[in-house]
Amino acid sequence: MATDTSPRFPPILVLIFGVIGISSGSILVRLAQGQDMPSIVIAAWRLSLASAILLPLALARRRSELCRMSGNSWGLAILSGFMLALHFASWITSLAYTSVASSTVLVTTSPLWVGLTAPFLLGEQLSRPLKTGIALAMLGSVLIGVADVVAVVDGRFHFSLTQFTHQSNPLLGNSLALVGAVAASAYLLIGRRLRGGMSLLSYTAVVYSTAAFFLILMAVVLGYSLFGYSTVAYLVMLLMAIFPQLVGHSSYNWALGYLTAATVSVAVIAEPVGATLLALVIFQEIPNTITLTGSALLLAGIVYASRPGGKPATVNT
């Protein structure tokens, strides 16, 4: 357990609500993209609306805690917010180019990137289960990465960005999803250090607000407008801020205060499964055999790495 304080709600129940909320994220992104809203703008609105809800609460209830934060803590929180912004910018953009299944599975490799960097940044050694899990997950990631661009025809391998898929550029989309996973890993590693001395409300308010600032800045630099979209698009943004961000992200961050990171990491597995099922129903996206095989290997790697002795931490979309 991460703390001896008795939680108000059962942590596992909170995780279940978090998984439900997070699984809806990629679906809501696709709906917003269908309303001609650019990916960076989607990310900016998601974090801005979440911050608009959290920041006033933090200022009202945790003002003294925020005032006591050291310069080092503020610096780490700002860096964490930047990494969260990079995570959302790359991951949400990936959904414009690749399938929901590929994107969500690849972006959940963040626990394994944390495991790889932990010996250098946290002094944690790589256990045998973690090494095996990382190997399985990396093999699965490679299969997912090439699933929509490579096919065997008449006994020969053929490469095409468009011939074997309905997605516009799956190789680019899968690469962006992996960038999102690496950025999420950095966000988690910093949060791991800060959460021990900060309340959930203070931490999420500062980090989400910082991420919103960087995403708005990205949108402005790239020449995108934050306004002028359909009512449906803004309604989807509000739902995105409430469910995957406030319910999903905050549930996982809260659970990390009561459960070990390895325990919470297992919940990551449910996100791509839930998102894939929703995409199947709503968008009729059917993963091909290579994608399913790679997904199974990747998720099996996370499960194996989460065994006793394996300590991957988790983050979510």
Answer yes or no: is 312 within a domain: no
pLDDT > 80? residue 147: no
pLDDT, mean over the chain: 81
Confidence (pLDDT) at 266: 59
Read off the pLDDT of residues 180-219 as tens digits, 9 standing for 90 and up. 999 988 888 888 778 777 888 899 899 999 999 999 999 9
The count of residues in the chain is 317
Report the domain count for the chain.
Answer: 1
Answer yes or no: is 140 within a domain: yes
Read off the pLDDT of residues 58-74 as tens digits, 9 standing for 90 and up. 999 999 999 999 999 99
| Residue 58 burial class via C-beta count within 10 angstroms: exposed 0-12, middle 13-18, buried 19 and up | buried
Q: How confident is the model at residue 87 (pLDDT cuts 50, 70, 90)?
A: very high
Answer yes or no: is 1 within a domain: no
For residue 97, CA distances in Å to 63, 90, 167 come to: 42, 11, 6
Distance of CA 95 to the CA centre of its chain: 13
Q: How confident is the model at residue 313 (pLDDT cuts 50, 70, 90)?
A: very low
pLDDT > 60? residue 35: yes
pLDDT > 50? residue 294: yes
Answer yes or no: is 315 within a domain: no
pLDDT > 80? residue 160: no
pLDDT > 60? residue 261: no
Task: Please tell me the pTM assigned to this model.
Answer: 0.80
pLDDT > 50? residue 4: no
Confidence (pLDDT) at 163: 58
Read off the pLDDT of residues 208-258 as tens digits, 9 standing for 90 and up. 999 999 999 999 999 999 999 999 999 999 999 888 878 887 787 777 667
Q: What is the mean pLDDT of residues 136-158?
A: 70
Answer yes or no: is 85 within a domain: yes
- DSSP assignment of the chain equals ---SSPPSS-HHHHHHHHHHHHHTHHHHHHHHHTTT--HHHHHHHHHHHHHHHHHHHHHHHSHHHHHH--HHHHHHHHHHHHHHHHHHHHHHHHTTTS-HHHHHHHHTTHHHHHHHHHHHHT-----HHHHHHHHHHHHHHHHHHHTTTEEEETTEEEE-SSTT-SSS-HHHHHHHHHHHHHHHHHHHHHHHHHHTTS-HHHHHHHHHHHHHHHHHHHHHHTT--SS---HHHHHHHHHHIIIIIIIIIHHHHHHTTTS-HHHHHGGGGHHHHHHHHHHHHHT-----HHHHHHHHHHHHHHHHHTSTT--------
pLDDT > 50? residue 2: no
Distance of CA 145 to the CA centre of its chain: 18
Answer yes or no: is 6 within a domain: no
Answer yes or no: is 187 within a domain: yes
Domain that holds residue 212: 11-305
Where is mean pLDDT largest: 114-123, 130-139, 148-157?
A: 130-139
Q: What is the mean pLDDT of residues 94-123?
A: 78
Confidence (pLDDT) at 17: 82
**Lowest-pLDDT range of 12-21, 79-88, 209-218:** 12-21
Answer yes or no: is 317 within a domain: no
Confidence (pLDDT) at 316: 41
